[in-house]
Amino acid sequence: MKADGDAELHEIDRFGRGVGWIAYPDEEMERASHAVAVPNEESETDDVWVFDPVDAPGVDDLLDELGTVAGVVIGLDRHKRDSAAIATRHGVPVYVAEWMTGVADEIDAPVERFGSRLADSGFEAFRIRDSTVPPWQEVGFFDGETLIVPESLGSAPYFRGDRERLGVHPMLRLFPPTEALSGLDPERVRVGHGVGVAERGALAVEDALSGSRRKAPGLYAKTLRSALGI
């Protein structure tokens, strides 16, 4: 599921002021990272916000194309990934939601806390899930056009049911985060596992949420067949 060893940068989700990448294109988890550039009126270059990054050769060059890194963001308590290493190289803090517990202590870099807005990034931050059983602290980000969902939605094969562009995480299929993710109307969606949705993002999100329970048996059966090699 999760690869290690030598990473190989594979670019995804390019749009006017953002880009994503998968550091291990052949892994089943398809861990995706994202960067979004935001205009800075006091600087000649845009501020670049990096979300849940996995490091790879060429990442710094990719970020430099967009502007100057302003911060590295952790959107899920389990997505510490290579946030500290990339933040340290660029001399910026790692940003963690103020309500997330047990995350900041494990980050070997300066940490900044944020509330309902992610500093000066233009992104509103909202709680998607905060539970102890199973342990799951996830924050989503939305700037009016781009929605970033670190874990509850994904496009890797083990997320998606029949004819879904995005699917609800297998562990949340029976109780999808409908209240947190409905009604946002994004143009595009970026996810922590797999390639995102470039257009009609709101429709992809609503389809995923509304079909979550109904398509769960088919998804579980597909995953079992894949695991058994059938």
pLDDT in tens, the chain (230 residues): 677 778 899 999 999 999 999 999 999 999 999 999 999 988 889 999 999 999 999 999 999 999 999 999 999 999 999 999 999 999 999 999 999 999 999 999 999 999 999 999 999 999 999 998 889 999 999 999 999 999 999 999 999 988 899 999 999 999 999 999 999 999 999 999 999 999 999 999 999 999 999 999 888 887 777 666 66
Contact indicator for 27, 38 with CB cutoff of 8 Å: no
Q: In whole angstroms, give the CA distance from residue 30 to residue 8.
A: 12
Count CB-CB contacts under 10 A for residue 149: 30
Predicted TM-score (pTM) of the model is 0.94
The per-residue pLDDT for 132 is: 86
The per-residue pLDDT for 3 is: 72
Contact indicator for 47, 34 with CB cutoff of 8 Å: no
The per-residue pLDDT for 224 is: 76
Distances (CA, A) of 89 to 82, 107, 215: 11, 14, 43
Residue 7 DSSP class? -
The per-residue pLDDT for 61 is: 97
Count CB-CB contacts under 10 A for residue 2: 9
Count CB-CB contacts under 10 A for residue 6: 9
Distances (CA, A) of 177 to 21, 58, 138, 153, 172: 25, 35, 11, 9, 8
